[in-house]
Structure 1
Amino acid sequence: MAYGLGIIGNCSFSALLREGSVEWMCWPRPDSSFVFGPLLDRERGGAFVVEGVDATDVRQEYIENTNVLRTIFSGPGGAFELYDFAPRFLLYDRYYKPPMLIRVMRPLSGEPRAVVRCRPVYDYGLVEPTSWSASNHVEYRGFPAPVRLTTNVPLAYIEDERPFLLERDRHLVLTWGQPLEAGLEDTAERFLERTLDYWRRWVKGTRVPRDYQGEVIRSALALKLHQYEDTGALLAATTTSLPEHPGSERTWDYRYCWLRDAYFTLNAFERLGHSEEMERFLEYLRNLAEEQEGVLGPVYRINGSSEAPERELDHLAGYNGGKPVRVGNQAFEHVQNDVYGEMVLAVSRLFLDQRFVGAVPPRTALDTVEGLVSQIDARLEEPDAGPWEFRERSRLHGFTVLMHWAGSRRAVEVAEALGAEELAAKARDVERRAAELLETRCWNDEIGALTQVAGEPQLDAANLLAVHLGFFEPDDPRATSHVDAIRTALSVDGGLLRRYTAPDDFGETEAAFTVCSFWLVEALTILGRTDEARELFERLLTLHNGLGLYSEDILPDTHEQSGNFPQTYSHVGLINAAFRLSRRWD
């Protein structure tokens, strides 16, 4: 499903490409309609393809330490290379990141012949624009804004999709809104060099572990692309409706920001040393906390909106015929009470991290944390949909109670730092009651683990985080039994973990959830079982998609990646596990 897919972007939009084909690209924002979406429908998804006419070998790779893709087409007639990128660089003290896709074709040997096909669509394939040609560009009409392809490839070859001899460098610049008005060749080449320089400099500013540096850098670059820089929001994934496993109907739209992921994503940015990205995301989270007046949903749009009604697009075939294709997500309507503890953990950095001192007035800080603690207090035993968003049932989930405990414990630290003893006392009381719930209603002595639902025996990989968050100390015998029980119950292939085994609204889960295996790596490392952790981690590193990227899921029988792609949480899990497991520099 995801094999060979590469992601490019500029923190304004992203595109997925495979062997010269733009398989997915939404404009003008990541949550807009696709302009190219053959990943979900080969007939109605449009196309932007560069092909080698007689190519018998196609290889795709990243230019090292960048988000620029290079594809090499080789065949009996010759070879050529293709560079794909979205411009991003500093211009007039701001980052230039336009809705612009640039493709550069260069002959390498012989007399290669190529074909270019460009057929953009809109409204998820319902709108097929008309086009007309001028001197050096093709204009596409039918979009909310002008879309133009400026190129030095003869326009007749593009319009008629005819092969042509690639005797010199050719450039293709596709724009939304503002067209390219400067010289084509010079601008495309200059933008390529400046974009390469930007990404290399960004990587130079990245802190890396002593081990697993290449894997961490690629994950960091993928994580960076999923931050919508205009607001600071972090998308869960680039795509919608890639199925968790074939025929499952588990096809969700992940082009939104889940609060559940916030704390662990901030940990990854912290470990990578990227405080600017942390600050942008914290500003987004703080804005949500204040705007929503304490009552939070589990997921928000990149502009902070709390509405994205889920609908099914029956006219699209779906990936390999896997329907339904969904836009929007019902999770916006769910009650997921774990978000309050996660929000406390996330925004506490604004109050406890001295790099952000002064960012929030003390009174505002107290009001924000006090509001979140009050919500935890009020919802301490309230049933919810749980972290995995069960659609038809609400119960008291162990993970939710765990986050109540972790959030209230962190609130004590914030209150003490701000000299708010009344808030500290309230948070301590909530922390104590949450711990009591975990001990008396969620812990199962017979199984030796915290369970998914209070009073029920099924297990949940999310509860591994009880070790990460310190509910179980490493020398507590319960920590070992807890981790081993979850690993035994949920393992499908030597350490690949499912989220849970209990049937849900769509039956039983089959795929392993990628981040859960990375959580297991961290848990084993915390417990001092580093040999086991390293063996599992290094096995996971072999399961990437060929370009160092990961989807949401892994199919146990084939080890093929499945689900939405690239999955931010999977890469966050890799980064955090690598730092936890790696040897120290000193």
Structure 2
Amino acid sequence: MQKHTYNLGLIGNCAFLGLIDTDTAVRWLCWPRFDSSFVFGSLLDDDKGGEFSIKPATGTWESRQCYRTNTNVLCTEITTADGRYRVTDFAPRFSQYERYYKPLMFIRKVEPLEGSPRVRVACRPVGQYGQLALNRRRSSNHIAFLGLEEEIRLTTNIPLTYVLDEEDFALNDTKYLVLTYGAPLEAPLESTAERFLLSTLDYWRRWVKSTSISAFHQDQVIRSALALKIHQYEDTGAIIAASTTSLPEAPGSTRNWDYRYCWMRDTYYILTAFNNIGHFEEMERYFHYIANISTKVKDKYQPLYGISGASDLIEEELPLAGYLGNQPVRIGNDAYTHIQNDVYGQVLVALLPLYVDCRFLDPERPNPEKLVLEALNLIETTMDQPDAGLWEFRNLAQYHCYTYLFHWAGSHAARKVAHSIGNRDMEARAERLIQAATDRIEQCFNQERGVYTNAIGSPHLDASTMQLILMGYLDPASEKAAHHLVELEKELKTPEGLFYRYRHADDFGTPETTFLICSFWYVEALACVGRVDEAIREFEKLTTYTNHLGLLSEDVDAKTGSQWGNFPQAYSHVGLVNAAYRIAQKLNKPNFL
């Protein structure tokens, strides 16, 4: 089978995200929010997905795509028989008037580099996931697309006739296309586009300069950090799992899910990643998003929420062809209805720095006693309640080891908060819950095999139990930790070094592809137990599973190295950042060159 990769570049400014193909076509862009309908969505349907491209007029051509160094500004160079041209794509982001300027504005700069290449521009946005064709209105120097809540406008110095008729023309000088949603560009086109480009380049390079990372695989860590950064919806602080929906975990698997939401199970790992690279602003925004959710929770936390904190994420299927014909195409995610009890510990561990880390000083932060007591109540209430687990089994409830690990970790965090505010009763209660969680984790231990299984009474192994080592439940220097990891390797590791989440059948059969975050957990676990040389080798193997720009998918087919699942996957980039940090710590390399 041929290797499948997503030949797409990611652009964004923390208000929207876009995916650009190597042929210059915008395959995915949702407006006005991450979780809105696409306005360009040919990734899921060539006919209904609209188009925004600057392609060669005729003949064969070659393409090369790269980022401007240390930025989220993307360049695509096209070479044809007639000449060569470059398309520079970016979403403006920079500091202005003591705030970040991050408009719903997508800028494309088109430059001839050699000869006189002929190009054809197409711009046909759509609405309602391809069900709504927009009306076009021609003005003096722009085209308005009407039919959505707000106007989409294309402002350009390309003759509008060429764009409207999609006629090819000779590219003899630099052209600009500025696409906006809502507020249009009312300033000079060329000079504004150039100023925005220089300001955006400067913003990203300053952001990277302020990143605290070691010399260990610095280029890949920077790319992962940049990708992770623009998966944060800055308006609320939410960080989504991926920018896309319905890219299959494996072809024909029907595991096609909408990942444009904020999963509570990711909270601890995401905040750890931002902490590891020294970016506290993103952490604070995410803290506030989680704290906002925590104040409205009554009887339970959901596994995931919308980027606005919305609770109802009703799952629907759309009449679209699907990525490479893979159906169904889903929006919404029914996992919000699931019982996933590790979330209470996740929230406590995630919010702990707000109350015990002196770098975070916020007089308006939520009352810690109320929040911690409510979370402890939920841990105690659900201690003997089976749940869907972090992998969100749809028709199976068990007493999961991973859930008890976060009961344990969350109770530890609660104890620290209680100690810092002098609440002895809360501290004692947290102690009791630590012991209760420990008792249940130990019930998952299989004495005969010397390994922790995925759930009480279950024979199956699960990569998530590597967290027993990474979170300090097991002493990494102990024989028990070393043997546990060896047993997981025997059952879940592929010859290529990739890791399955699990190998037993679930609601959709046996998983066909490996889950990339688990492979990075494995790297961390190797480093923790002292197998550092192996950790480095496995890390370097994993970097070969990126696409041409260093971007990671959710899943990898071990046999072909193919990328599958939603893309880019923030969770995978989090895994890379944290694994690199763990190795650097073991190598005793400081967070500077």
- In the superposition, the TM-score normalised over structure 2's length comes to 0.97
Q: In structure 2, what is the Cα distance between the partners aligned to 1:25 and 1:220?
A: 21
Question: Is the CA contact 1:13–1:30 (under 8 Å) kept in the aligned structure 2?
Answer: yes
Q: Which of 181, 184, 193 is the aligned partner of 1:179? A: 184
2:357 corresponding residue in structure 1: 353
SS in 2 for 1:354: coil
Asked whether 1:433 is paired with 2:436, we answer yes
Q: Which of 356, 371, 376 is the aligned partner of 1:373? A: 376
Q: In structure 1, what is the Cα distance between the partners aligned to 2:476 and 2:499?
A: 21
Q: In structure 2, what is the Cα distance between the partners aligned to 1:487 and 1:357?
A: 43
1:427 maps to amino acid: A
Q: Which of 451, 460, 463 is the aligned partner of 1:461? A: 463
Q: Which of 204, 217, 220 is the aligned partner of 2:222? A: 217
Q: CA deviation at 1:487?
A: 1.6
Question: Is the CA contact 1:236–1:569 (under 8 Å) kept in the aligned structure 2?
Answer: yes
Question: Is the CA contact 1:150–1:180 (under 8 Å) kept in the aligned structure 2?
Answer: yes
1:31 corresponding residue in structure 2: 35
Asked whether 1:335 is paired with 2:339, we answer yes
How many residues of Structure 1 are paired with residues of Structure 2 in the alignment?
583
Asked whether 1:4 is paired with 2:2, we answer no
SS in 1 for 2:133: coil
1:255 corresponding residue in structure 2: 260
Asked whether 1:165 is paired with 2:167, we answer no
Question: Is the CA contact 2:496–2:558 (under 8 Å) kept in the aligned structure 1?
Answer: no
1:549 corresponding residue in structure 2: 551
Q: In structure 1, what is the Cα distance between the partners aligned to 2:546 and 2:205?
A: 22
Asked whether 1:142 is paired with 2:147, we answer yes
Question: Is the CA contact 1:65–1:217 (under 8 Å) kept in the aligned structure 2?
Answer: yes
Q: In structure 1, what is the Cα distance between the partners aligned to 2:300 and 2:71?
A: 40
Q: CA deviation at 1:141?
A: 1.3
Q: Which of 531, 534, 538 is the aligned partner of 2:533? A: 531
1:31 maps to amino acid: D
Q: Which of 55, 60, 65 is the aligned partner of 2:70? A: 65
Asked whether 1:404 is paired with 2:407, we answer yes
Write the deviation string for residues 360-399 of structure 1: whole angstroms up to 9, x where unpaired.
Answer: 568x111111111111111112100100000112111111
1:416 corresponding residue in structure 2: 419
The structure-2 alpha-carbon separation of the partners of 1:493 and 1:35, relative to structure 1 and needing over 3 Å to count, comes to farther
Question: Is the CA contact 2:342–2:407 (under 8 Å) kept in the aligned structure 1?
Answer: yes
Q: CA deviation at 1:4?
A: 2.1
Question: Is the CA contact 1:58–1:74 (under 8 Å) kept in the aligned structure 2?
Answer: yes
1:451 corresponding residue in structure 2: 453
Q: Which of 476, 479, 485 is the aligned partner of 1:477? A: 479
Q: CA deviation at 1:56?
A: 1.9
Q: Which of 239, 244, 250 is the aligned partner of 1:245? A: 250
Question: Is the CA contact 1:350–1:360 (under 8 Å) kept in the aligned structure 2?
Answer: no
Question: Is the CA contact 1:62–1:68 (under 8 Å) kept in the aligned structure 2?
Answer: yes
Asked whether 1:191 is paired with 2:193, we answer no
Q: In structure 2, what is the Cα distance between the partners aligned to 1:410 and 1:279?
A: 18
Unmatched 5+ stretches in structure 1: none
2:88 corresponding residue in structure 1: 83
SS in 1 for 2:113: strand
Deviates more, 1:246-255 or 1:416-425: 416-425
The 5-angstrom pairing of residues 225-304 of structure 1 reads: 225-293=230-298, 295-304=300-309
Deviates more, 1:409-418 or 1:34-43: 409-418
Q: CA deviation at 1:359?
A: 4.0
1:245 maps to amino acid: A
Question: Is the CA contact 1:294–1:372 (under 8 Å) kept in the aligned structure 2?
Answer: no
1:95 corresponding residue in structure 2: 100
Asked whether 1:326 is paired with 2:365, we answer no
Q: CA deviation at 1:113?
A: 1.1
SS in 2 for 1:247: coil
Report the identity percentage.
49
2:513 maps to amino acid: A
2:386 corresponding residue in structure 1: 383
Question: Is the CA contact 1:210–1:584 (under 8 Å) kept in the aligned structure 2?
Answer: no
Write the deviation string for residues 224-281 of structure 1: whole angstroms up to 9, x where unpaired.
Answer: 0000000000000000000000000000000000010011111110111111111000
2:540 maps to amino acid: E
1:42 corresponding residue in structure 2: 46
1:568 maps to amino acid: A
Write the deviation string for residues 292-315 of structure 1: whole angstroms up to 9, x where unpaired.
Answer: 1462111000001111100111x2
Q: CA deviation at 1:98?
A: 0.7
Asked whether 1:16 is paired with 2:39, we answer no
1:491 corresponding residue in structure 2: 493
Question: Is the CA contact 1:533–1:581 (under 8 Å) kept in the aligned structure 2?
Answer: yes
